[in-house]
Amino acid sequence: MTSERLRIGKLGEAEAGRRLEQAGYEIRSRNWRCRSGEIDIVARQGDTFVFVEVRSRGVASGARYGTAAESVDFRKQAKVRGIAQLYLQQHRLHDVRVRFDVIAITVGKDEGIESYTHYEAAF
């Protein structure tokens, strides 16, 4: 992954976390890793655990590869679900409500946020 893509990804994840907290979510973990992969943000909203996949794109790459939200395909959804199960097991969280959200962000050339869309219960 190029340094530009990493920079845009970090900007997007920071913005997503900030906006989730402003909306009243409790951030439980950022970039939670296990052998199977990573969950960008694990948050809690009331009695629901929310696993958030953040997809960030630079304004220049948006049209070439489709939207950020479109990049969360069936295979990625299945992977996130599996990692979420491991998170819940490791933290001994049983019989809790779970939701999977996608946050799609477009970052402008000046590092400003061009667009931000939060898809609740995306999959």
Range of the domain at 103: 3-119
Task: List the one residue out of 12, 99, 108 whose CA is nearest residue 55.
Answer: 12
CB 51 within 8 A of CB 98: yes
Q: What is the pLDDT of residues 71-112, one digit of tens each?
A: 888 999 999 999 999 999 999 999 999 999 999 999 988 888
For residue 67, the model assigns a pLDDT of 67
**Considering its fold, how many domains does the chain have in total?**
1
CATH, residue 103: 3.40.1350.10
For residue 111, the model assigns a pLDDT of 83
pLDDT band at 3 (very low <50, low <70, confident <90, very high): confident
Whether 64 has a pLDDT exceeding 60, the answer reads no
What pTM, to 2 d.p., does this model score? 0.90
Torsional class of 28: left (φ above 0), alpha (ψ -120 to 50), beta (otherwise): alpha
Q: What is the pLDDT of residues 34-58, one digit of tens each?
A: 999 999 999 999 999 999 999 998 8
